[in-house]
Amino acid sequence: MSAPARPAEVAALNDAIATKPTATLIDAARRLVEARASLSAAKAGLDARAAAFAEENVALMVEKRAADSAVAAAEADVKSLARAYYDATQDKTPMKGVTIKEFDVYTYDPAQAFAWAQEKKMALVPESLDVNAFEKIAAATPLPFVTKKKEPQVQIGKEIKLPEPDLTLEDVLGGVE
């Protein structure tokens, strides 16, 4: 059995370990350097290809942005006109592919709702009101400070069946404008 190490020998051994990395650490560091170099080369290659793709397809990208904007504007028009049609007729299917659905909308004072949730120990997430849970409770249990109303929202399907070209707007709407 060997004699216990003296404090000076332990300190010298610790210094040697701290200043001379083991072969395993050196190998791991070498693998890290190589992996980082591979990652850098792969990223540079992808960046170059992405830049070349963008340069080659700039016109198509501009065209797509314009088409995205046109679709958004057309959808807004369809929603606005469908909502106006619904408001005038209460018809929830103004045309195939365009429907009106009613959703419950709850109106309440957030501070009052939070106070209620704290008192009942329901619909809480740390330090705030869990709005989704609170509204589910309000749907099932009438609360004196909550009002509920139906809010119609226009839904546009992926495929819209357009009327025949020879039909007029009056034919489609049945004389309602």
pLDDT in tens, 11-40: 776 676 666 666 788 888 889 999 999 999
Q: Give me the pLDDT at residue 172, please.
A: 59
What pLDDT does 48 receive? 97
Which pLDDT score, from 0 to 100, does residue 27 have?
85
107 - beta bridge partners? 147
Supply the pLDDT for residue 3. Answer: 61
- Kind of pairing between the strands at 147-156 and 98-107: antiparallel
Neighbours of 79 (CB within 10 A): 16
**pTM strictly above 0.95:** no
pLDDT value, residue 135: 94
- The predicted pLDDT at position 25 comes to 83
Domain spans, the chain: 8-56, 62-162
Q: Residue 171 has what pLDDT?
A: 63
Nearest to 176 by CA among 94, 79, 55: 94
Question: How many Cα atoms are found within 13 Å in the side-chain-facing hemisphere of 131?
Answer: 7
CA distances from 58 to 63, 68, 119 (A): 9, 15, 59
Mark the ranges of the chain whose per-residue pLDDT is less than 50.
Answer: 177
